[in-house]
Structure 1
């Protein structure tokens, strides 16, 4: 990719612009945030944490990395990349935030798709320290020690994005927790939010095994959140075959079903040696409006 450093970070304590100063980010208010050896910064103030170690655990992050790198969700990544790059601004880098980036899979695929043709300024944010650490470490490895790693990586919360107002062209929310007022604040007028959520048949075959009865699906929401206009939604549906109990366990570990299922349901999943499943996702696209 044509890498451009992401420079629109804001201090999570006072909202002032952050400037990179060696191995730290600093604001004019005197606040300083160190960049870890793996290449990420923690911009989640301790008073904003709801638990000591919020977000996905180290084990959950590793499970997601193994499953995604096996290519099972590659069609989702390809569709997301094509949507993000559609209508990219001319003459400057496209600034994109993945709000809930996990271990960075979708931003890496976006960077690979863009190649040298479209310059990108990427920011990956997640509330899980373990996810951001894994993403940043992988990015440094991919860049072979260069300082122009693919993205900036920060620990932070969607409830208070450490990003300057009206500086982003795109926000991704991949199976995450959208905070629309914050997304509207950081997007430029005309910028776009791409929200990806599970559809009614997503992993149905797995859910039929771990739950005694499937709950009725709620109707898909099509009303645009405040500050946005709905540009349209698309469905993406395909089949995947997962071989081996380990990969099935990885899939279960990266979904909410790990905690929602009973012990009996989890045991039934653990007994599987292979499973063919439906992947069904909805991609909703919203544009930030002025005012």
Structure 2
């Protein structure tokens, strides 16, 4: 399976298409965005920032990289890769966005899964968008074949109807934007935490656990449910470092009480339940083909 560069970026200031010229992405109105020497481009206007340095910090990104590269979430990555490639016919050109890509683990694993498909005539173009410049910097350093962009899911710097797949993995979905950038018939793949996800850690750091959310959530407008599956695994963390990394890469670090963080820091081993739901949604409309 071959890799092609994703090209359908849009100007974050006026929405016009961007074209790559001599180390920068430029729109017809003259807006220009330099490509950093690491290969990524910053398409997050200051008016769309909620803070001076939004998103995950450098330390959070490093913790996530160590934890994921240790293979603890490998079954999730494999299931996502299978879902991305499902139903893509021979000879197809498949474009995939990871919206909130972090340091790029899931796109790298998708690319690795495709590398083993000898004789596969399909092509794949990958785009990663994250609001954290530290996450995009880490991603760009480790995988050169993808296009990496500092941007926001609320205003994706992507041309309308340009993507076959959008991933939202433990992230913050913006369904209207996802529907806008997906081709009719394209798919949104979501990974969300289940009621037992990391329960053992949560029982340590919180006085009480919130009850699980009701399971009767409405489908987002513009999408049709294709199917969902539950992925459930047990993992064992040995030593304080991977436990600290897991806590640092999740929102639990800031939500936990001071007493809970002290208890977590004292742990030297921990057995955990991984419980997530993988959902496939199709963007409504007549498929345009791949």
Change (3 A) 1:179 1:221: farther
Name the residue aligned to 2:215: 220
- Give, in angstroms, the shift of residue 221 of structure 1: 4.8
> SS of 1:218's equivalent?
coil
TM-score (norm 1): 0.95
Name the residue aligned to 1:164: 159
Q: Deviation above 4 Å: which 4+ runs of structure 1? A: none
Mark the runs of 5 or more structure 2 residues left unpaired by the alignment.
none
Q: In the alignment, is residue 62 of structure 1 matched against residue 57 of structure 2?
A: no
Q: Deviations over 1:104-131 (max 9, x none)?
A: 0000000111125232110000000000
Name the residue aligned to 2:78: 78
- Give, in angstroms, the shift of residue 69 of structure 1: 0.2
- Map of 1:1-291 to 2, 5 A cutoff? 2-115=2-115, 116=117, 117=120, 118-139=122-143, 149-290=144-285
> SS of 1:66's equivalent?
helix
Change (3 A) 1:151 1:221: farther
| Kept after mapping to 2: 8 A contact 1:211/1:265 | yes
Q: Deviations over 1:5-48 (max 9, x none)?
A: 10110111111111111210011110000010111000000111
| Kept after mapping to 2: 8 A contact 1:223/1:230 | no
| Kept after mapping to 1: 8 A contact 2:91/2:123 | no
Mark the runs of 5 or more structure 1 residues left unpaired by the alignment.
140-148
- Give, in angstroms, the shift of residue 90 of structure 1: 4.1
Shifted more, 273-282 versus 219-228: the winner is 219-228
Cα RMSD (Å) of the superposition? 1.1
Equivalent-residue separation in structure 2 for 1:212 and 1:45 (angstroms): 40
- Give, in angstroms, the shift of residue 103 of structure 1: 0.2
TM-score (norm 2): 0.95
- Give, in angstroms, the shift of residue 223 of structure 1: 2.4
> SS of 1:114's equivalent?
helix
